[in-house]
Amino acid sequence: MPALVEARRTRGSHVELADMSAVTTADLAEPARLVPQRRRHLRAQLRRSRRPGSSGATGAAIRFADVDGDGRDDYQRTGADGSVHAYTNTPADGGNAIHWMERLDWAPGVWYGSRDKLRLADVNGDRRADYLVVGSTGTVHAYFNDGGGGGGGFTEHLDFVRETDCPGDKPTFRDISEDGRADYVVTYDGGSMRCRLITGGNL
């Protein structure tokens, strides 16, 4: 579901992912005519699940990825230069609400980067999304996430994926081999796909 939401955001759709885990079947027992108490419960859960405010941010600037390795996707606001402000998704109120921990300048970006070149995906299998820059010829420079700005920084791995015959706007990263590492996936206009399994990359 997070990947679907991200894909629709990229296409310009104004969609939002809400955690509905606190809503039980009892809340849905009368879907056509929810009693006021249940309606209030649903509204409260949606309010608790909403993303942090990002004044002036457009849909194209927002990404979702787990940057702290806790198994929950976090909210990232990206700049045109590829810089990232992160808001980590942490449970509050005994797990019944979400608290967003602000991490400004989680990634400052790189001089050759941009939002269009930026990908966030865990390519080294430590459960934390890494900072990836995809070049025009498909090459990837990786910055392993050791905690990000203010929390361990990044480890640079230039040419983590060497030049391919793929245009830079095609590669995405998804773990299709189920080894915990996101693989290099290229989707073509006709729907065909080509994948390079990442088994460690060029380190």
Q: Indicate the burial class of 76 (C-beta count within 10 angstroms; 0-12, 13-18, 19 or more).
A: buried
Element spanning 5, H or E: helix 2-10
CA-to-CA distance for 15 and 65, rounded, in angstroms?
16
CA-to-CA distance for 112 and 116, rounded, in angstroms?
11
pLDDT for the residue numbered 46:
47
For the segment 87-114, the average pLDDT, to the nearest whole number, is: 89
For the segment 7-28, the average pLDDT, to the nearest whole number, is: 59
Instruction: With beta carbons less than 8 A apart as the criterion, state whether 62 and 71 touch.
Output: no
Instruction: Give the pLDDT confidence of 167-200 residue by residue, as tens digits.
Output: 999 999 999 999 999 999 998 888 899 999 999 8
Helices assigned H by DSSP within 86-202: none
- DSSP β-bridge partners for residue 91: 98
Q: Indicate the burial class of 17 (C-beta count within 10 angstroms; 0-12, 13-18, 19 or more).
A: middle
Mean confidence (pLDDT) of the chain:
83
CA-to-CA distance for 172 and 136, rounded, in angstroms?
13
CA angle 184, 108, 70 (to 5 degrees): 60
Residue 67: CB atoms within 10 A of its CB come to: 29
Whole-number percent of the chain with pLDDT over 90: 58
Instruction: Give the pLDDT confidence of 122-148 residue by residue, as tens digits.
Output: 999 999 999 999 999 999 999 999 999
CA-to-CA distance for 147 and 140, rounded, in angstroms?
20
For the segment 61-82, the average pLDDT, to the nearest whole number, is: 95
For the segment 83-110, the average pLDDT, to the nearest whole number, is: 89
- 48 pLDDT more than 90: no
Tokens 């790189």 — which residue?
Answer: 110
